Amino acid sequence: MEKEKQNDEYETQEDNKPEDLTETQDENLDENIDNEKEENSEEEIAQTDDDKSKEEIRGLKEEKIRVLAEMENLRKRFDREKIDSIKYGSVNFARDILSPIDNLERALSAINKEDDHPQSIKNLIEGLLMVKKEILNALEKNGITKIDSVNKKFDPNLHQAMMEIEDDNLDEGVVIQEIQTGYMMHDRLLRPAMVGVSKKSKQQSETEIKKDLNSDESENKKDHKN
């Protein structure tokens, strides 16, 4: 009887053993799956954080480049303004000096050089010429120079036409008289020259127009023949 009981217990244990193992394996498998999910989730989070960090670093680099470029532009602009302030800082003073020079030139031009002046007047004239020369030299040292206008083609950037003078011996638009001297300050116009500009007489203009019309007609005839 005891042997039979032992056999029954042994068989019961044998019957229950596979089920317990299966349940244990399932539990372990579930744990492994959960662990893998957690690991994957942690990897995804780490990857996302890494991407965010890279994006932030890229943005900071771009912002740094922009700031450096703006600083370089500011430096260049400051250098240009500094140079301009040195070159053109005295422009108002230079314009004020031009008026006394004009009066001095008018006074000298009003003196008749052919007259026999007393020695005192001659000395005065020489003194005024020396003053004029020194002033012009001082202006040239500061980059202020005269505009050479007479016998030059009229340039609206340098000249201000005050009148037209008929002259058939010259082309139209040539400066033949300078009423007031113009000046440049380095590469900028300080004051335009007031000038008189040549033009053709009415009769000469009509003659030239007829010549042009006749030449055009002859060219047209040649084209038709060809």
Q: In what order do the strands lie in the sheet with 183-185?
A: 144-146, 183-185, 188-191
> To which residue do tokens 């370089």 refer?
72
Q: Are strands 188-191 and 183-185 parallel, antiparallel or unpaired?
A: antiparallel
Burial zone of 136 (CB within 10 Å; 0-12 exposed, 13-18 middle, 19+ buried): middle
**Cβ-proximal residues to 198 (8 Å cutoff; 6+ apart), any chain:** 164, 165, 166, 167, 170, 171, 172, 173, 174, 175, 176
The pLDDT of residue 202 is above 90: no
> Which percentage of the chain shows pLDDT scores above 90?
27
Encode 50-85: b = buried (16+ Cβ within 10 Å), e = exposed.
eeeeeeeeeeeeeeeeeeeeeeeeeeeeeeeeeeee
Per-residue model confidence (pLDDT) at position 16? 47
Are 161 and 198 in contact by the 8 Å Cβ rule? The answer is no
User: Across all residues in the chain, what is the average pLDDT?
Assistant: 78
Task: State which amino acid sits at residue 171.
Answer: D
Q: Look up residue 111 and give its DSSP letter.
A: S
Q: For residue range 115-132, what is the model confidence (pLDDT) as tens digits? A: 788 888 889 889 999 999
Q: How far apart are CA 70 and CA 66, in angstroms?
A: 6
pLDDT tens by residue, 184-198 = 998 899 999 999 999
Q: What is the CATH number of domain 147-226?
A: 2.30.22.10
pLDDT digits (tens, 9 = 90+) for 36-63: 656 656 666 666 777 778 788 888 888 8
In the prediction, which pLDDT does 159 show? 95
pLDDT of residue 33: 60
Block residue for tokens 């744990």: 31
Answer whether residue 225 shows pLDDT above 90: no
Listed residue (102, 194, 101, 94) closest to 144, CA to CA: 94
pLDDT score recorded for residue 209: 56
Structure tokens at 50: 């890494």
Higher pLDDT, 87 or 148: 148
Average pLDDT value for residue range 13-20: 49
CB 103 within 8 A of CB 135: no
% the chain with pLDDT above 70 = 68
* Nearest one of 180, 177, 157, 156 to 167, comparing CA atoms: 177
